[in-house]
Structure 1
Amino acid sequence: MRKTPISATAFVAAAVASLAAMAATPALALNVSRSAEIAAPPAKVWAAIGDFCGIGDWHPAIEKCVPSKKGDKDIRTLSLKGGGTIIEEQVSRSDDRHNYTYTILEAPLPVEGYKSTISVRPSGAGSKVIWVGEFKAKGAEDAKAEATIAGIYEAGLKGIADKVK
């Protein structure tokens, strides 16, 4: 088999086409999931955390939560300790299944397209609280965005455990 040399022009054109195809490929969504076992029944845990704006009562980073409406959607404006504001919209909830899903509308976080669900499930004699999120990194490396969200979830889960004691 005889090899045909490729011209420099053809090589550059192929490289440019390859880079253009990679740039046009959407970034893959990142996923973060954290959970905690809580020594209380699901109904008690849900009563403590199920209110959409109740996050101000159990998450240590939240100074206050102000509820509002946007059409028929519940909105919460979170004032962060140390400054900063996050605005989130609840997109679904099930009190029967002990979960709600929300999106971030505005935030100083290194994420975009953020959607998250927090849920409470039976686990042995107690409960398991599961917090999962999907998003893309924005203005930061993927690992930094994942670490930021993981830290938020871990602090929140500890706050839930402390509140439900």
Structure 2
Amino acid sequence: MLRMFSRTLTLPTLALLAGTAPGLALEAAKSIDVAAPPAKVWATIGDFCGIGQWHPAIATCTPSLEGGKPLRTLGLKGGGTLVEAQAARDDKALSYTYAIVSGPLPVSDYTSTLSVAPKGTGATVSWRGSFKAKGQPDAVAVDAISGIYESGLKAIADKAQ
């Protein structure tokens, strides 16, 4: 014989459960208009390991493959190493998506997309990501990623002109 039990959860119990649930993903998104055609901008940023040529925080980029997926190991100018794996790429749509495998940033579960779209006679470069804060408050994680995006986008605009 099967017995059904019913349990009523009180508001304090629900609050306790909500407080122990994993954090929701945070997001950062930045974009910049560039006075260069999309193809020229993509030629500047489309190479997955080319980030070492345009991002001011990157000293070196070493490409490799793991399980058939491109990896890049980034030597950071301020010290430290960041390893990222390309998850998707679309050269026709001018975008690629990647994830952080390891590194010193205050985030986990990080996935990001860098893309180029036409805008008038130029282009718009967008960089957006989702992640969870790791070892720091949410605002610190969002500020760190937003700062990376802002400095990178400014450098793209300067280089692609």
Q: TM-score, normalised by structure 2?
A: 0.91
Residue in 2 that maps onto 1:127 = 123
Residue in 2 that maps onto 1:74 = 70
Residue in 2 that maps onto 1:137 = 133
Higher-Rg structure is 1
1:105-120 counterparts in 2 under 5 A?
105-120=101-116
What is the aligned counterpart of 1:60 among 56, 60, 66?
A: 56
Report the Cα offset of residue 94 of structure 1: 0.4
Residue in 1 that maps onto 2:20 = 24
| Paired AA for residue 109 in structure 1 | L
Report the Cα offset of residue 135 of structure 1: 0.3
Residue 100 (structure 1) aligned with residue 85 (structure 2): no
Report the Cα offset of residue 124 of structure 1: 1.0
What is the aligned counterpart of 1:34 among 21, 30, 37?
A: 30
Task: Give structure 1 regions of 4+ aligned residues with deviation exceeding 4 angstroms.
Answer: none
Q: Identity over the aligned pairs, expressed in percent?
A: 55
| Paired AA for residue 86 in structure 2 | Q
* CA distance in structure 2 between the aligned counterparts of 1:152 and 1:132, rounded to whole angstroms: 11
Report the Cα offset of residue 24 of structure 1: 3.4
| Paired AA for residue 105 in structure 1 | V
Aligned residues: 153
Residue in 2 that maps onto 1:154 = 150
Residue in 1 that maps onto 2:5 = none
Q: Deviations over 1:63-111 (max 9, x none)?
A: 0100000011000000000211100000000000000000000010110
What's the RMSD between the two structures over aligned residues? 1.4
**Higher mean C-alpha deviation, range 46-55 or range 14-23:** 14-23
Report the Cα offset of residue 17 of structure 1: 2.6
Q: TM-score, normalised by structure 1?
A: 0.89
* CA distance in structure 2 between the aligned counterparts of 1:15 and 1:40, rounded to whole angstroms: 56
* CA distance in structure 2 between the aligned counterparts of 1:15 and 1:47, rounded to whole angstroms: 56
SS at 2:23's partner residue? Answer: coil
Residue in 1 that maps onto 2:45 = 49
Residue in 2 that maps onto 1:3 = none
Name structure 1 gaps, 5 residues minimum: 1-13
Report the Cα offset of residue 22 of structure 1: 1.7
SS at 2:22's partner residue? Answer: coil
